Amino acid sequence: MKDVISYKGFIGSVQFSAKDDVFHGKIEGIDDLVSYEGTSVAELKKAFKEAVKNYIELCNKVSKEPFKSCKGSFNVRISKELHQAAMKKAILEGVSLNQLVQQAIKKEVMAG
């Protein structure tokens, strides 16, 4: 698992700067840049929660959806060999390649 923290459905990155002796991160999955920092893990978590609260408040004030929008389609680049194997599996299962990929993603996301 990647080093992240979460609060109210938001995910925040966690990094450490040895040069500055500070933990820092940013809220992931949004269209804006919202960062936070702290000199301890407890301070970082507190700053993250405060950043989330402030961001939600700002979004409400300007009637903006806080999370990055997803339109339901995206491009995935894979090797020719994997593409061919997936196509064959889809044919054997009697589904479209799109359905096979959707099922695989759903299985992976629900697992974890």
| Per-residue pLDDT tens over the stretch 26-50 | 999 999 999 999 999 999 999 999 9
- Give residue-wise pLDDT tens across range 77-112: 999 999 999 999 999 999 999 999 999 999 999 986
Q: What is the DSSP string of 19-82?
A: TTTEEEEEEESSSS--EEEESSHHHHHHHHHHHHHHHHHHHHHTT--SSPP--S-------HHH
Has residue 71 been placed in a domain?
no
d(CA 12, CA 14): 7
Two structure tokens written together for 83: 């593409």
Phi, psi angles (nearest 5°) of residue 67: -90, 150
- Supply the range of the domain harboring residue 97: 80-111
Domain-embedded: residue 75: no
Based on the fold, state whether residues 12 and 41 are members of the same structural domain: yes
Q: Number of folded domains in the chain?
A: 2
Domain identity same for 22 and 57: yes
Q: Residues 64-80: pLDDT tens digits?
A: 999 998 889 999 999 99
Same domain, 88 and 54: no
What per-residue confidence (pLDDT) applies to 23? 96
User: Quick one: pLDDT at residue 70?
Assistant: 87
pLDDT of residue 42: 97
In the predicted structure, residue 63 carries a pLDDT above the cut 60: yes
The answer to whether residues 12 and 46 belong to one domain is yes
Establish if 85 belongs to a structural domain. yes
